[in-house]
């Protein structure tokens, strides 16, 4: 088994990491609400029956004066506001030459479009970032603020420090690939996929400098060869602000028991496209992002299922009942820790991951927080998370 770091620490910080994809809106931190003005002719005043009143209070019933149906008043179409901003003109932002994919035989060719490599991934431990997911005018970041912030000492100490250490040592290689991206200053629509690195022949320092290349793992694709994770919508606003929504990501970490499978859903990101070095949007090119913000949710039930699956890999932890058991609905909608008193002693010489799972304080703490999941989704209750990130250019390569 690989050298194991703190399993739960990795599991919780994994709630954001593997971009391996959102908010209720298109933007992290808010939604765009265009101003709309509708002007319509109300026609005849209310109470006008269409006939002429007679002096004695009666009504002229001369049907010859009735208008044709075609003469009926029709609401006028709204007139455009001369002062309204018509928005960017795509003609002002023509696509660069050889933007991937290109049919031009003189352009570079390859299996991947421009790539980017995550050089920073920091779980926000307060509520200053990154989005109002449930629409209550408050930032949602339960995992960062309440879980990592509260249980940090039990999650391996410096959670974000451990993430950065893994990135710096080349143990975490999370990637994104862009396609159909024509201009870094503005593009109304592009494709953005989330990939996982398999290995690199470059040093971590070279990769983090933006001069490296990474072989893309086959785990990034489903059995039909389609990317497993990505965003349903992506664009670049004027000024080079990349926004993507409707995303999903998978979280994996070195040292984590393989049974752990954490997937973020409803993921949205916002980041500034770096101008220097200039992005290369051709096949084999790369791009960098700064001031990145990510929001998403981790499904609560799936998280505790993953913890149970991980515990089953530890022979020192009893498997009946499972480590976490669901105990009810309504006001008692939560999980309880079913750790046996003997489990901690039995795991004293086991792997670091199993010792962490057998920690009664952590187990009870997670169970207590399970009833406080802050987001309601169609699939069930979920934990929100906010992350700040940065990326550097990288060349994506196909495994031989």
pTM of the model: 0.76
**Residue 78 pLDDT:** 62
Please check whether residue 197 is in contact with residue 396, taking contact to mean a CB–CB distance below 8 angstroms: no
**Residue 142: strand, helix, or coil:** helix
User: Judging by beta carbons within 10 Å of its beta carbon (0-12, 13-18, 19+), is residue 242 exposed, middle or buried?
Assistant: buried
Under 8 Å between Cβ of 297 and 383? yes
Closest CA to 52 of 60, 62, 44: 60
Question: Is the separation of the CB atoms in 231 and 192 below 8 Å?
Answer: yes
227 secondary structure, DSSP code: B
Strands 262-273 and 335-337, how do they pair? unpaired
Is beta strand 262-273 parallel, antiparallel or unpaired with respect to 380-398? unpaired
DSSP code at position 192: E
Extents of the domains making up the chain: 7-25+92-398
Distance CA(344)–CA(338), nearest Å, equals 12
Are the beta carbons of 6 and 356 closer than 8 angstroms? yes
- As a whole number of angstroms, the distance between CA 90 and CA 88 comes to 6
d(CA 278, CA 283): 15
pLDDT of residue 81: 63
As a whole number of angstroms, the distance between CA 208 and CA 116 comes to: 10
8 Å CB contact between 139 and 386: yes
Per-residue pLDDT of the chain (400 residues; tens, 9 = 90+): 443 344 444 444 443 344 443 333 445 554 444 443 333 344 444 444 444 444 444 445 454 444 454 555 555 556 656 566 667 777 889 999 999 999 999 999 999 999 999 999 999 999 999 999 999 999 999 988 988 877 666 655 677 888 888 899 999 999 999 999 999 999 999 999 999 999 999 999 999 999 999 999 999 999 999 999 999 999 999 999 999 999 998 866 544 444 455 789 999 999 999 999 999 999 999 999 999 999 999 999 998 998 999 899 999 999 899 999 999 877 779 999 999 989 999 999 998 889 888 999 889 988 988 999 999 999 899 999 999 999 999 999 999 9
Q: What are phi and psi of 187, to 5 degrees?
A: -155, 120
**Positive or negative torsion for Cα 155, 156, 157, 159:** negative
In the DSSP assignment, the letter for residue 171 is S
* Cα 369 from Cα 142, distance rounded (Å): 10
- pLDDT at position 21, please? 39
């Amino acid at each position: 088994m690989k050298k194991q770091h703190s399993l739960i620490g990795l599991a919780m910080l994994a709630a954001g990491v593997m971009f391996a994809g959102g908010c209720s809106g298109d933007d992290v931190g808010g939604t765009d609400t265009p101003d709309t003005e509708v002007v319509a002719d109300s026609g005849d005043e209310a109470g006008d029956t269409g006939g002429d009143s007679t002096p004695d209070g009666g009504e002229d019933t001369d049907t010859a004066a009735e208008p044709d149906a075609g003469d009926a008043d029709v609401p006028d179409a709204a007139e455009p506001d001369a002062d309204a901003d018509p928005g960017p003109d795509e003609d002002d932002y023509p696509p660069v030459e050889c933007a991937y994919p290109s049919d031009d035989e003189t352009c570079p060719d390859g299996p991947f479009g421009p790539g980017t490599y995550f050089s920073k991934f920091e779980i926000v431990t307060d509520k200053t970032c990154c989005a109002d997911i449930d629409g209550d005018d408050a930032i949602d970041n339960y995992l960062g603020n309440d879980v990592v912030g509260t249980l940090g000492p039990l999650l391996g100490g410096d959670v974000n420090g451990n993430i950065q250490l893994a990135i710096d040592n080349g143990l975490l290689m999370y990637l994104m690939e862009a396609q159909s991206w024509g201009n870094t200053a503005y593009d109304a629509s592009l494709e953005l996929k989330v990939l996982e690195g398999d290995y690199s022949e470059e040093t971590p320092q070279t990769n983090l400098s933006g001069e490296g290349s990474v072989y893309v793992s086959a785990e990034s694709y489903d059995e039909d060869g389609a990317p497993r994770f990505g965003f349903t919508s992506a664009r670049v606003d004027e000024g080079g602000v990349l926004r993507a929504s409707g995303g999903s990501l998978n979280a994996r970490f070195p040292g984590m028991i393989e049974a752990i499978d954490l997937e973020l859903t409803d993921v949205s990101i916002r980041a500034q496209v770096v101008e220097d070095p200039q992005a290369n949007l051709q096949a084999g090119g790369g791009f960098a992002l700064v001031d990145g913000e990510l929001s998403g949710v981790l499904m609560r039930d799936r998280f505790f299922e993953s913890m149970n699956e991980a515990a089953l890999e530890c022979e020192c932890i009893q498997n009946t009942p499972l480590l976490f058991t669901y105990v009810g609905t309504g006001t008692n909608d939560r999980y309880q820790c079913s750790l046996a008193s003997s489990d901690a002693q039995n795991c004293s010489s086991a792997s670091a991951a199993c010792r962490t799972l057998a920690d009664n304080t952590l187990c009870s703490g997670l169970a207590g927080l399970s009833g406080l999941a802050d987001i309601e989704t169609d699939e069930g209750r979920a934990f929100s998370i906010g992350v700040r990130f940065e990326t550097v250019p990288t060349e994506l390569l196909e495994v031989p």
